[in-house]
Amino acid sequence: MNTRTDRPAQDILVHTEEGVTTITFNRVDKKNSITEAMYAAMADALEAAEADAGVRCVVFQGDMAIFSAGNDIADFLKQSAQGAAQDEEERPVWRFLRALAAFPKPLVAAVCGPAVGIGTTMLLHCDLVYAGDNAAFSLPFVNLGLCPEAASSLLLPQMLGYHRAAEALLLGEPFLAEAALEVGLVNRVVPPAECNLLAQTQAKKLAAKPLSALIETKRLMKAGQAAQVRERMREEGASFARLMAGPAAREAFSAFLEKRHPDFSRC
């Protein structure tokens, strides 16, 4: 996949109206795969929304056909190769995840179509998630020779139970909207054409409520896990970086770029 570094501002759209900041994946021709520039733009948007007292809620949304295919592989490999020149923890992807996990105001997501990798794990940090009935969630980290991120190795077993989480993380096979509703990953399933509108409607309801009460209620609900999430994200990040340099990840990414099945028999 080619990275279009000339248009990062258009790949992530940020719009604020009536107390709601909406962050939209706008790279549909590349299946909304996420580049480092896009992670930086989303981190910037979250930091700005947190600092702006007029913003009371943030919504993430994609297209009716695709939420996000996860990392842009070509861009991810390029940035990883350059990683030695920078502090790994300061890369935009980790900056975005830290901002997401620590965001004090309500986060709402509207998910239609595939939500791959971080397209699913980021939802674990959202407060309300609405899905189109075409949504498909997948966590193919092991299939890429990698481990989970975004504290999903902690949060997913808590939400789904160990065995369901193990099936999702170890096999990496997609599960559909109704299954996500059953286990509590999403709040409601609607036709794709209604999903973004429903998320915006719920966000406006939140924006009309007292911000101090929203922030304190969210803080209390998450207080018991906040330190665990930070620590697990650090642990996952270190493991992720180590596995990225390993033979399994090299074989997985080479196979992806060469459009062939990977051979892990020696990994």
Residue 46: CATH number of its domain: 3.90.226.10
Model confidence at 2: pLDDT above 50: no
pTM: 0.93
In a domain, 263, yes or no: no
Q: Kind and range of the H or E element at 181?
A: helix 177-183
In a domain, 2, yes or no: no
Which residues constitute the domain of residue 254?
8-192+211-258
In a domain, 265, yes or no: no
Structural domain tally of the chain?
A: 1
Model confidence at 122: pLDDT above 90: yes
Residue 144, sorted as left (phi over 0), alpha (psi -120 to 50) or beta, turns out to be: alpha
Please report, for residues 77, 119, 127, the alpha-carbon distance to residue 123 in angstroms, rounded to integers and kept in the order given: 24, 7, 8
Model confidence at 85: pLDDT above 60: no
Any idea which of 2-11, 48-57, 92-101, 238-247 has the lowest mean pLDDT?
A: 2-11
Asked if residues 115 and 152 have their Cβ atoms less than 8 Å apart, the reply is: no
In a domain, 76, yes or no: yes
In a domain, 203, yes or no: no
pLDDT of res. 113: 98
- Which band of pLDDT confidence, cut at 50, 70 and 90, is reported for residue 1? very low
In a domain, 197, yes or no: no
